[in-house]
Amino acid sequence: MTERARFDRGHTDDLMTFLAASPSPYHAVATAAERLEKAGFRQVAETDAWDAVPAAAAADVTAAASAAGSGGKYVLRGGAIVAWYVPEGAAPHTPFRIVGAHTDSPNLRVKPLPDSGTHGWRQVAVEIYGGPLLNSWLDRDLGLAGRLTLRDGSTRLVNVDRPLLRVPQLAIHLDRSVTADGLKLDKQRHMQPVWGLGGDVRDGDLIAFLEEAAGLPAGEVTGWDLMTHSVEPPAYLGRDGELLAGPRMDNLLSVHAGTAALAAVASSSSQPASIPVLAAFDHEENGSQSDTGADGPLLGNVLERSVFARGGSFEDRARAFAGSVCLSSDTGHAVHPNYAERHDPTHHPRVNGGPILKVNVNNRYATDGSGRAEFTAACEAAGVPFQSFVSNNSMPCGTTIGPITAARHGIRTVDIGVAILSMHSVRELCGADDPFLLAGALAAFLER
Average pLDDT over the chain reads 93
Domains of the chain: 3-104+247-447 (3.40.630.10), 107-230 (2.30.250.10)
AA letter at 279: A
**pLDDT recorded at residue 76:** 98
pLDDT at 2 over 70: no
AA letter at 120: G
This prediction has a pTM of 0.94
pLDDT band at 93 (very low <50, low <70, confident <90, very high): very high
Helix (H) and strand (E) counts in the chain? 10, 20
The pLDDT tens digits of the residues spanning 209-230 come to: 999 999 999 999 999 999 999 9
Which pairs from 13-18 meet CB under 8 Å and 24+ separation?
Answer: 14/256, 14/260, 15/234, 15/244, 15/253, 15/256, 15/257, 15/435, 16/233, 16/234, 16/235, 16/244, 16/246, 18/252, 18/255, 18/256
**pLDDT recorded at residue 278:** 98
Sheet of 71-77: strand order equals 42-43, 71-77, 80-86, 275-281, 96-102, 325-329, 412-417, 356-358, 387-389
pLDDT at 205 over 60: yes
pLDDT > 90 in the chain, percent: 89
The pLDDT tens digits of the residues spanning 247-262 come to: 999 999 999 999 999 9
The pLDDT tens digits of the residues spanning 33-80 come to: 999 999 999 999 999 999 764 444 444 444 444 677 789 999 999 999
- Strand residues in 13-106 grouped as ranges (E): 42-43, 71-77, 80-86, 96-102
**pLDDT recorded at residue 421:** 98
The pLDDT tens digits of the residues spanning 290-326 come to: 999 999 999 999 999 999 999 999 999 999 999 999 9
* Residue 272 CB neighbour total at 10 angstroms: 18
pLDDT at 404 over 50: yes
The pLDDT tens digits of the residues spanning 317-352 come to: 999 999 999 999 999 999 999 999 999 999 999 999
Q: What is the DSSP letter of 79?
A: T
